[in-house]
Amino acid sequence: MENLALSMVTQIESMEPVPLDDVTGFSGAGVYALYYLGDFPAYADLSMVNAETLTQPIYVGKAVPKGGRRGLEAVSHTTTKALSSRIRQHANSVRTVENLDIADFRVRWLVVEDIWIALGESAMIRRYRPVWNAVLDGFGNHDPGSGRINGKRSMWDTLHPGRTWAGKYPERDDTAAQIVQDVTQYISDRLG
C-alpha cells in the first residue's frame, strides 16, 4: 500500500500545473492538489516556496463519482466528470471571496479508479499537511441547504469572506486576526 500511495503522489507531482481558472471539463474521478502563489500575508512563506518550485499544496482533495462514496454505483472513471467538476467548484469559491485572486492558484490532478482515490488523497495529505486541510477548515464545504445548518462559520470562510451561503452560519468566536496568526505559525513550522 505504501508503494502504491507513493506512486500516486509521485505521479501527481510530475503533472504540469494548470492555472485554476483554466480548468475545463474532462472525464474522470481522482485526486487533486491546489497550489498558491499570491500575496495574502498569512501564506507568504508558502508563496515564497512555491515561487521557486511548485511543491507545497495549500489544499489536497478528491472527487469520487456520484454514488461512489456509498459504494452504490460502479461508475467507470471515463464516464464521470466528478474531478473536473470538483476542481471547478473550488475555482468558483476562490472567485467569490474578497481577498484571494484566482490568478494566484495552480492545480494538478490525477485520474484514478475509484478504489485508489482515498489512498491517493490520504497519501498527499500525510506528505504535505496542507494548511487548508490541517488548520483552516471549510474550503471544501458545500452550501448545506435550508434547515441543515449546524455549528459556526468555517475558519476558511471567516478568513476569506465572500461565499454568500457561508453567511447563513453564525460568526465564530475567534477572529480573522487570530486565524491569520495560527495559519502563519503553522506554515512557518511546516516549512521551517
Q: Are 154 and 138 in contact (CB under 8 A)?
A: yes
CA distance 156 to 169: 13
pLDDT at position 141: 85
Residue 156 — very low, low, confident or very high, per pLDDT cuts 50/70/90? very high
Q: Which residues contact 63 (CB under 8 A, 6 or more apart)?
A: 29, 30, 32, 82, 83, 85, 86, 87, 117
CA distance 93 to 95: 5
pLDDT at position 72: 46
CA distance 39 to 55: 17
Query: Percentage of the chain surpassing pLDDT 90?
Result: 74
pLDDT at position 6: 86
Q: Which residues contact 164 (CB under 8 A, 6 or more apart)?
A: 96
CA distance 186 to 192: 10
**Residue 170 above 50 pLDDT?**
yes
Section 153-181 average pLDDT: 93
Q: In what order do the strands lie in the sheet with 105-111?
A: 18-19, 105-111, 30-36, 57-63
* pTM (whole model) above 0.85: yes
In the block, residue with C-alpha cell 498558491: 36
**Residue 99 above 80 pLDDT?**
yes
**Residue 49 above 50 pLDDT?**
yes
The grid coordinates of residue 163 equal 461565499
pLDDT at position 147: 52
pLDDT at position 70: 45
**Residue 75 above 70 pLDDT?**
no
